[in-house]
């Protein structure tokens, strides 16, 4: 992973968890070839461990194949919620939780 290729290391992305793609706004250009172009996604893998889905891949410079960052995305179901996480030097860090029920119990107001 190359900190010289990104504007900010692991930027906080709130609840935006990317299963694929690249956050190009954080890419300053390749530290090796000095070009700022699209990226290649390589070594993509999907694993399942204990009910958790884990997607990993590498961001590479399209021109010289320099490795810019390693991306990890996870998905799991815990009780009545879907949980997503993302961790990547380029794309950032994020977490999100979504209810699988028609009405999110966290959004319900109590009636007395």
Phi/psi at 66 (nearest 5 deg)?
-65, 135
Cα(37)–Cα(91) distance, integer angstroms? 16
Higher-confidence position of 80 and 93: 93
Dmax (CA) for the chain in angstroms is 65
Q: What is the mean pLDDT of residues 74-83?
A: 90
pLDDT reported for residue 49: 86
Coil, helix or strand at residue 85: strand
- Look up the pTM and report it: 0.85
Neighbours of 54 (CB within 10 A): 15
């Amino acid at each position: 992973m190359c900190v010289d290729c990104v504007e900010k290391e692991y930027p906080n992305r709130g609840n935006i968890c990317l299963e694929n793609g690249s956050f190009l706004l954080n890419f300053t250009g390749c530290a090796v070839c000095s070009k700022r172009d699209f990226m290649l996604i390589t070594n993509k893998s999907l694993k399942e461990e204990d009910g958790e889905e884990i997607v990993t891949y590498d961001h590479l410079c399209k021109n010289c194949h320099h490795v810019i960052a390693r991306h990890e995305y996870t998905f799991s179901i815990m009780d009545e919620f879907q949980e997503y996480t993302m961790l990547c030097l380029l794309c950032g860090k994020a977490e999100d939780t979504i209810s699988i029920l028609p009405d999110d119990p966290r959004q319900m107001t109590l009636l007395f």
